[in-house]
Amino acid sequence: MNIDIKYNPSYAMALVQLADGEQIQAEGGAMMSMSANVAIETHRATKKGGLLKSLKAAFLGGESFWMNTFTANGGAGEVALAPTLPGDVKLIQCAGTLFVQSSSYLAGSPALEIDTKFQGMKGFFSGESLFFLKVSGSGPLLISSYGGIEEIQVQGEIMVDTGHIVGFQEGLEYQVRKLGGWKSFFLGGEGLVCHFRGSGKLWVQSRNIPAFTKWLGEKLPPKQR
């Protein structure tokens, strides 16, 4: 399998070259185009663990209930994939466990197992999804973002606005907290942050979806009754 990412970081897409018999699994609606000899199979979001695990990934993790697996038959084939939001796509060679924000999973090897990690009250107070997708195994993984993706090698501690998190490695632990005092929290324009501790890679996005939707809502005319 060969994956070429084009047009990043603003309007990225991924061109996936498949050898005969190779497969790529993608989020529903991600396919832009595919070769005529590529077959598509639609299935539940998580093959391993059965229906209940798939339902958890779909309705609590924020991901679509259905996933698509593309298979090259009778020769090499190509699949073009793109995320919904304008932004970046990054290829990660997964070897272990990563936690990916539910809106940032684009595609990956069918060998990767997708589950969810409950954030409990941390997710509630952050205003973000209550679940991260837990991606485990070995193989290529494509993550997407709103804006560009920055990779940070954490050694110690770092704080990241909750709306800018794309994903992180299992070696990092985090707590959600407010930035500064209550005056800064309510009047300073800064909300809640994730305080990461440990050693591992962290991926952040240069734009914030909740901040953009709030800004957009303020520009729209009020609803008429």
- pLDDT tens for each residue of 139-167: 999 999 999 999 999 999 999 988 899 99
Q: What is residue 181's predicted lDDT score, i.e. its pLDDT? A: 53
Angle 99-4-161 from CA coordinates, rounded to 5°: 35
Residue 11 CA to residue 118 CA, distance in Å, equals 31
Q: Mention every residue, 6+ apart, whose C-beta is less than 8 A from residue 163.
A: 127, 128, 191, 208, 209, 210, 211
| Cβ 203 vs Cβ 167: under 8 Å | yes
Share of the chain above pLDDT 90, in %: 55
**Structure confidence at residue 221 as a pLDDT band (50, 70, 90):** confident
Structural domains in the chain plus CATH codes: 2-219 (3.60.160.10)
Q: What is residue 46's predicted lDDT score, i.e. its pLDDT? A: 53
Share of the chain above pLDDT 70, in %: 77
Whole-number Cα distances in Å, 120 to 117, 126, 127, 130: 9, 10, 12, 7
Q: What is the largest CA-CA distance in the chain?
A: 64
Angle 9-10-13 from CA coordinates, rounded to 5°: 75
